[in-house]
Structures are given as C-alpha cells and as structure tokens.
A and B are shown apart, each in its own frame.
Chain A
Amino acid sequence: MVRHYLDFERPLMEMEREYEELQRFAHRDDPRVLARIKKLQNRIAKVRKEIYSQLTPWQKTQLSRHIDRPHTLDYIHLVFEDFMELHGDRGFMDDPAMIGGLARLEGETVVVVGHQKGRDVKEMSYRNFGMPHPEGYRKALRIMQLGAGFRKPIITMIDTPGAYPGVGAEERGQAEAIAHNLREMATILTPIIGVVIGEGGSGGALAIGVGDRILMMENAIYSVISPEGCAAILWRDGAKGPLAAEALRLTASDLLKLGVIDEVIPEPLGGAHCDYQAAAAKLKEALLRHLEELRDVPEERLLPERYQKFRRMGAFMEE
C-alpha cells in the first residue's frame, strides 16, 4: 500500500523511502549498507516519537480524517464475526453513508451501526463522504431498536464530517431525524456504547452518540463544528482552521477532561492507519470490558444512569 504522508510527517517521508529502498534493493551483506540501515532505523524511530508524542489539535484533526484511517467496516471485520448488514429506513431509501447490522462479539450477538466513509473516489462519492441524509439516522435508529427488541447490546461507530447540507436532506427533515434519534436513544433499554473512531462532526455524529459509554480513539476528534467552519464564522477566514481546532478543544484528551467521554483508546504510534490490527485489538478490548461492566447494571438503573450522564454535561454558575 502506498503510504499517504501528511504535511507534518514530511521529515519522515524521505527517511522512510530511503529505508524501504535499501531494504528492497541494496546488497544487505555490505557492511556500509547495514550501518546505513541501522542508522536510519534509529533516526526514524526518534523522529516518529518526536512527531507523534506532541501532536497539535490540528494535526490530530488531519489524522482523524486520514484517507487510510480504518473506517467502520474495517473495524467491523477486525473486531466482530458474522457481520450481517441490514439495509434501509423503511421510508425512503438505503443511505450508504450509514451502515448497520447484526454481528457477534466473542460469541455474543450485538448490533453495530456506524457512519461509513469511502477510500477511493468512487466509494467516497457513493458513501457521500460519510455524511448521512435523514434516512441514514432513521436506518440507524431502526436497526438499534430492532436489536433492543431482542435485548442485544448496541455499538455505534462515529466517523462523519457532519450532516449533509443539501436540499433533499433538509426537505426530508434531517433536523427532525437527528432530534428523534437523540430522544429515542435515551430510552433504548439495552446497553449502548458509542465510539468516535475518526471524525465526530457535530449533530451528524451525535445522532448515534447517545449511550451508556462514549469512547474515543486517541487521534479522533469530536466537535460542535468543523474547525474550518468555525474559523469561517468567527475569524471570517476558513484558513484559520488550525487556530479554531486549538480553541474548540476537540481532541480525545480534551473531551476526557471535559467529562464528555469515558475513555481514550490508545492508537499505535503514527495513528490507527499504521497498524489496523493493533488499533482493532485495543478497540475490541475496550468494548468487551465496558460491555462486561454494563451487563452488571440492572435494567431499572440503565436508563436513569444514561439520563444522568448527559444531564450533568455543561458548565454554568448559579447565583
């Protein structure tokens, strides 16, 4: 696979390319080549550590949108077995930007729903860049309620730039669809775990983000508005995205501090796209652990606790 480098990864690019070439073509019994390889290895390890241990919010934003980043279907195939995708909102259409279905997690049947982005031009357009129409939210809720009817726990994966700003999406009530999900997810009587795996973009993200646990991958972001959108409005300059990313506090560690999420799931060095297996293994471990905890919550306490979780969010003074 061709690796896609982000601007801040440039220092790595030259070295890694040289390293790969040496590995592939050089006479490896030549001691000078061996020494060069060894030196490069050390240097690459050092630079990687330097870059990835102090990522800025904007750099994390870029990583969260990385074209090679694992998407919902990638995690589904690595974390679950027997995924059976279900389709349609029973009203208007099947929205490919939102997927959902039944699967097994270590033998237990669960419901999985999530935004789905594409990786090549054709799939990106087919998936509408992971931006659902109202039917996507309605499909997600239908599948969640279907699962809840059979007492299956629900896992949602959040990865969207946001709702789609289009005429049809508005005409068919995307605001109503999102609102309806928010209210109904507060009443679904089986455990719900939401995971922000990439981009958590505003209402389109939140529409499948009400649950008993909200987790976030280390380099995912979750925000009320995209940094570019925020910059365009408040700085009147969309190019001030990096500034807005800083101001919005949208990284996983920020959200943990703000009490909006419950846990940050570590990613392999360089981001989840550098090692799908490792990222998926961490996600699976976290899901199993939280499901186990939620299994112990008696049914009559599940909804009041979920309510209180969101009821507490916010900051204000009272005179």
Chain B
Amino acid sequence: MAWFKKKEVTPKERKKGDALWSKCNVCNEITYKKELERNLNVCPKCSYHFPISAQKRLAIVLDEGSFRELDRGLTSVDPIHFRDTKRYSERLKEAQRRTGLKDAFVTGSGKVHDSPAMMGVFDFGFLGGSLGSVVGEKIARMVEKAVEERVGVIIFTSSGGARMQEGILSLMQMAKTSAALSLLKREKLPYISVLTDPTTGGATASFAMLGDVIVAEPGALIGFAGPRVIKETIKTNLPPGFQRAEYLLKHGMIDLIVERKQLKEILGQLLDLLYH
C-alpha cells in the first residue's frame, strides 16, 4: 500500500522558512541550514536524521570520485494515463524540475573504503521516493550488473511505497525487484539494505527487507502499513516508539542501527567482512 503525506507549503513560506533555516520534524528545533548540512543533516539537538537527497547520500558514504552512474536516462512514462486531482504526467514533470532528477532512484557503481559495490539511493524528494517502473527497472539492472561484475549491492531506501499512479505495474515492481535479488542470493553476493526515514509500504515489503544485513538509521520510520492507517483500523493508541528503527531492532527485524556519521565506516567494514 502506498501512502505519503504531501505537505502543502506556499511559495511565500518556502522563501521565508526554507532558505536559511530548517525545522526539525521531531523536536521542532530550528537550525541554520549550513550548520545542519555540516552535521550531515542530523538535528544537533535530538539527532533526528533528516531525509537527504540521493546526491548527498552518495557523498556521505562513497569514496570520493568513485561513483559511476548507471541508467541515467531511464524516465517514467504514464502507462495508465492516470489522473487524480492532477495528471501523473504533470506530477512527474514538476518533480523532475524540482529535484533535477529523472526519477526517485539513482544507481551506479562505487567504492566504500575501497570495497566495490553497486549502489542504489532513493530520493524522497521525488514523489515521496515512490516505487514505480523506473525504480523497479533500475533495481533489477543494478542487481544484474552486480552479478556480472561479481560485487555486492547496497540500497538506501526512503520511500512512501508503491507509486499508485502507475497502478498494478507499480505493485509488480515488488515482485520484479525481489526476484532480481534471488539472483544475487544464488550467486552468493552480499546485499546490504539501509533503511532511512521513512521506509514504508511496497518498498519495505520487497527489496528493503531482503538484505543479508539490514541496517537502519536512528529513529527511521519502518513499516508496511502506515501508522495512521493502523490507528484507524485498531482504534487504540499505538505503542510508544512503534515502527521506529529501535522498535524493529528490539523485535528482531533489523540487524543494526547506525548513525549517519558512522555509516560509511560500518558499510565499509561489512563489505570487507563479507567479501574476504
């Protein structure tokens, strides 16, 4: 099930609020943007890990200059001519303009502390990191490429789930990506899944939970059904910390929680341990 909240921000508010300062989703602390960036987009007060762009993510974890992007030209089409209050084709164009990306997922080869791997990174800023045909195709291709080059795969997820605007084809990307990962498993190549805030819906119920090792950033929301839907269904309050990374660790669903500033170090170690 796909769900993502769309925060309506007027251009005026954007200008006023977003230009220099960022407000933390958790503790409401307002931080000078430059400072936040120096802190890898982690709130200096409560250490909430803000979603970051694909580009920033790659800069944080990869050895400098090691990234070679793949399948850059893959672009979404509007296969079922979907229209709600707006056309899907228009939503796509807007997202492309806003992010400078073709779709919500960037792939390529790179190195983490000298260990090579295929990297895939979601950009939540592009239609909530939703899983559509382009994302599915890129995951399948990067996995097939990893098999070809005998390297592992790391995917950083931040996704609201399946991209409803592509209808059933978006659901099928779950099967497609999971089937691709079965090849990696057969070839005994490692897959590390990194769950970042938020990882929900169809992304979670496919590639994101299939890591040989599953790592999460602190506080990340991770689940299949969204908390609001669950609350409406069961009509009681949710347990404290429900669907947060720490809760999943306690319930045995993930391997590690790693702070963003440690992430490169840990991923490098994991690859090294699994490769040699």
Q: How far is the CA of A249 from the CA of B85 in the complex (A)?
A: 17
Are A311 and B1 in contact, CB atoms less than 8 angstroms apart?
Answer: no
Find chain A residues with CB under 8 A from B80 CB: 247-249, 254, 258
What 0/1 readout, one digit per residue, does chain A (287-316) give for beta carbons within 8 Å of chain B? 000000000000000000011001101111
Q: How far is the CA of A247 from the CA of B66 in the complex (A)?
A: 43
Are A203 and B172 in contact, CB atoms less than 8 angstroms apart?
Answer: no
Q: How far is the CA of A163 from the CA of B224 in the complex (A)?
A: 9
Tell me, yes or no, whether B3 is within 8 Å of chain A by CB: yes
B224 to chain A, nearest CB (A): 4
Residue in B closest to A234 when the chains form the complex, CB atoms: B84
Are B137 and A316 in contact, CB atoms less than 8 angstroms apart?
Answer: yes
Instruction: Report if A183-B75 is in contact (Cβ < 8 Å); known contacts: A170-B243, A206-B175, A314-B173.
Output: no
Are A209 and B186 in contact, CB atoms less than 8 angstroms apart?
Answer: no
Binds A, one of B9-17, B201-209, B263-271: B201-209
Indicate which residue in A175, A184, A254, A311 contacts B205 across the interface (CB closer than 8 Å).
A175
What 0/1 readout, one digit per residue, does chain A (161-178) give for beta carbons within 8 Å of chain B? 011111101111111101
Are A234 and B234 in contact, CB atoms less than 8 angstroms apart?
Answer: no
Instruction: Report if A249-B168 is in contact (Cβ < 8 Å); known contacts: A170-B230, A314-B136.
Output: yes
Tell me, yes or no, whether A274 is within 8 Å of chain B by CB: no
Find chain B residues with CB under 8 A from A233 CB: 2-4, 164
Find chain B residues with CB under 8 A from A184 CB: 182
Are B242 and A167 in contact, CB atoms less than 8 angstroms apart?
Answer: yes
Residues from 135 to 165 in B contacting A, C-beta threshold 8 Å: 136-137, 140, 162, 164
Instruction: Report if A203-B202 is in contact (Cβ < 8 Å); known contacts: A174-B224, A315-B169.
Output: yes
Q: How far is the CA of A152 from the CA of B47 in the complex (A)?
A: 53
Find chain A residues with CB under 8 A from B119 CB: none
Tell me, yes or no, whether A260 is within 8 Å of chain B by CB: yes
Are A176 and B79 in contact, CB atoms less than 8 angstroms apart?
Answer: no
Residues from 236 to 276 in B contacting A, C-beta threshold 8 Å: 238-239, 242-243, 247, 251-253
Q: How far is the CA of A16 from the CA of B243 in the complex (A)?
A: 52
B interface, size bucket: 35 or more
Are A179 and B168 in contact, CB atoms less than 8 angstroms apart?
Answer: no
Q: How far is the CA of A318 from the CA of B70 in the complex (A)?
A: 12
Q: How far is the CA of A255 from the CA of B167 in the complex (A)?
A: 10
Find chain B residues with CB under 8 A from A315 CB: 77, 79, 133, 166, 169
Indicate which residue in B79, B82, B182, B226 contacts A186 across the interface (CB closer than 8 Å).
B182
Find chain A residues with CB under 8 A from B166 CB: 224, 315
Residue in B closest to A209 when the chains form the complex, CB atoms: B175
Are A310 and B77 in contact, CB atoms less than 8 angstroms apart?
Answer: no
A124 to chain B, nearest CB (A): 15
A contact set with B: CB distance below 8 Å: 162-167, 169-176, 178-180, 182-184, 186-187, 202-203, 206-207, 209-210, 222-225, 229-230, 233-235, 244, 247-250, 254-255, 258, 260, 306-307, 310-311, 313-319
B contact set with A: CB distance below 8 Å: 1-4, 71, 73-77, 79-80, 82-85, 132-134, 136-137, 140, 162, 164, 166-176, 178-183, 185-186, 201-202, 204-210, 223-226, 229-230, 233-234, 238-239, 242-243, 247, 251-253
| For the complex of A and B, 7 pairs with smallest distance between CB atoms | A314-B133, A319-B73, A182-B178, A165-B225, A315-B79, A186-B179, A234-B84
